[in-house]
Structure formats: structure tokens, C-alpha cells
């Protein structure tokens, strides 16, 4: 099954509510929200107030991708704001295991994100605890970048780890996902697909999402 999570980073912020409505109507499964602090990544975007506003507007699942240093400082804020899925970068927190438990203590799905240069083996000792894994297929910080082909090997390695753990959790991929790269990721074992520019740069959102879903 292909599930699509439009990345709101590529939406028209002046009309965020109608942008959300348009992708939901077009078949979006989950909404992806990119949070950036200008430190972990060289860009600043969206705080917990944006998540609260979205929570009031929609009942769609909200997938919040924290690209911030020491994300444990803001876990409670984003959970209270209404996140359903909250992911933190392995590279951004010293106490990853503790941060995962903290997210789960709020009854929110906990995800772990790997930068392109980070090996799948970083998941070895947390794979039984996480609710999903997010493999970055570009370097985080900006939308509209090109997919890094080498990440297909990492998706396969993460798939093997998940299978060995005996659990069924999502592998989400994020960055440069379009109608050409999505099937490659799917074949490698990904199940949830974030797409920003491939959806919001298109006038016809339904056509864009159907193209991604292969309909
Ligand atoms: O987390 C990020 C970027 O850091 C992503 O969620 C992007 O926003 C995806 O945008 P496209 O690559 O699909 O345009
Ligand atoms: Co993202």
C-alpha cells in the first residue's frame, strides 16, 4: 500500500487552510509538517503554534518532523499541540532512547530519522521501541532537492532490521520523492512517502497524488 504525506513546507503559507483542504480532497493520507530551528538545519520553519492551528482545522493525522537540536526540549509542546506522529533525528539528540520513551509517554507515535550519511545500524538498539523510521533521501533543510539514489541501499537495510525485529512498522521516506523515485523506494521497502514539491507545485493536486500512488 502506498500512503502519501504531503509536506506542507511546499504549500502556500498565506493560504495554508485551503492548501490542506486541497490535498485532503485529492487523497492525501497524512499531513507532514517540517520543523526547523536554523541550527540543526540551515533554515527556520514552523513552530508548535502551526501544529495547533492545523489540529483545529483538520482531523487528518499530523506527522511532525523535528529538524531541531536537542528535540527533547520541545517534545511536550508538539505533542500537546496535536501531533500524532513525532520524529527526531538520531544526529540531534544525545539520549535517543530516552527521547523515544518521552514521545511515547504522550501517546504519540515515535519516529527516528536518519540523515543521508547516517548508517541504518544507528537503529540497532532502538528498533524495538520506535513506531516508525524516517529515511531522509535528501539532506534536510529544504524542499525541492534531488533524491539521493544511494539511499535505496539504506532503505533495504532498514527493512531487513525491521523484519529481524519481527515488528511491522512503517519506513517513511522524505526528500525528492516523485513519480519516478517513489516506486524505487517502494521496491526497497518504504511504505510511507513524503512529497512536497511533487504535489504543491502542481495545479491539479489529485492528478499529482494519483500519479504518486500509481493510479
Ligand atoms: O524534511 C524535508 C526537508 O528537510 C522535507 O519534508 C521536504 O519538505 C520535502 O520536500 P520535497 O523534496 O518533496 O520537495
Ligand atoms: Co520532512
The pTM is what?
0.98
The ipTM value here is 0.99
Considering 29, 34, 37, 170, which one is annotated as catalytic?
Answer: 34
- The CA 44 to ligand 1 mean position distance, Å, reads 13
Helix (H/G/I), strand (E/B), else coil: 132: strand
Tell me how far apart the alpha carbons of residues 101 and 85 are, in angstroms, rounded to a whole number.
13
| Ligand 1 pocket check for 9: Cβ under 6 Å | yes
Q: Which residue has the least CA distance to atom 10 on ligand 1?
A: 143
Q: For cell 532512547, what's the residue?
A: 97
> Residue 156 is inside which H or E element, if any?
helix 151-165
Range of the domain at 138: 3-213
Report the b/e string of 165-201 with b at 16+ CB within 10 A.
eeeebbbbbbbbbbeebbebbbebbbbbbbbbbbbbe
23: domain CATH number is 3.20.20.70
Tell me which ligand sits closest to the C-alpha of residue 139. 1
Tell me how far apart the alpha carbons of residues 91 and 85 are, in angstroms, rounded to a whole number.
19
| Ligand 1 pocket check for 6: Cβ under 6 Å | no
Helix (H/G/I), strand (E/B), else coil: 31: strand
- pLDDT tens per residue across span 91-119: 999 999 999 999 999 999 999 999 999 99
- 170 catalytic, yes or no? no
Total domains, the chain: 1
- pLDDT tens per residue across span 52-92: 999 999 999 999 999 999 999 999 999 999 999 999 999 99
- The CA 118 to ligand 2 mean position distance, Å, reads 16
Binding residues for substrate: 7, 65, 141-144, 174-176, 196-197
Amino acid at each position: 500500500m502506498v500512503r502519501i504525506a504531503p509536506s506542507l513546507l511546499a504549500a502556500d503559507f498565506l493560504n495554508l487552510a485551503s492548501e490542506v483542504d486541497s490535498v485532503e480532497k485529492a487523497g492525501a493520507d497524512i499531513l507532514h509538517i517540517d520543523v526547523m530551528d536554523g541550527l540543526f538545519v540551515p533554515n527556520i520553519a514552523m513552530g508548535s503554534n502551526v501544529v495547533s492551528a492545523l489540529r483545529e482545522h483538520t482531523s487528518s493525522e499530523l506527522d511532525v518532523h523535528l529538524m531541531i537540536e536537542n528535540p527533547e526540549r520541545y517534545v511536550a509542546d508538539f505533542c500537546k499541540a496535536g501531533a500524532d506522529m513525532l520524529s527526531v533525528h538520531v544526529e540531534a539528540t544525545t539520549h535517543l532512547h530516552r527521547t523515544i520513551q518521552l514521545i511515547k509517554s504522550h501517546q504519540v507515535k515515535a519516529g527516528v530519522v536518519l540523515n543521508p550519511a547516517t548508517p541504518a545500524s544507528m537503529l540497532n538498539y532502538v528498533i524495538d521501541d520506535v513506531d516508525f523510521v524516517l529515511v531522509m533521501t535528501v539532506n534536510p533543510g529544504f524542499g525541492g532537492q534531488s533524491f539521493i539514489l544511494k539511499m535505496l541501499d539504506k532503505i533495504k537495510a532498514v527493512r531487513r532490521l525491521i523484519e529481524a525485529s519481527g515488528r511491522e512498522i512503517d519506513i517513511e521516506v522524505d526528500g525528492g520523492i516523485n513519480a519516478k523515485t517513489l516506486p524505487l523506494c517502494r521496491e526497497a521497502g518504504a511504505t510511507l512517502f513524503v512529497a512536497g514539491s511533487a504535489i504543491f507545485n502542481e495545479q491539479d493536486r489529485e492528478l499529482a497524488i494519483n500519479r504518486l500512488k500509481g493510479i
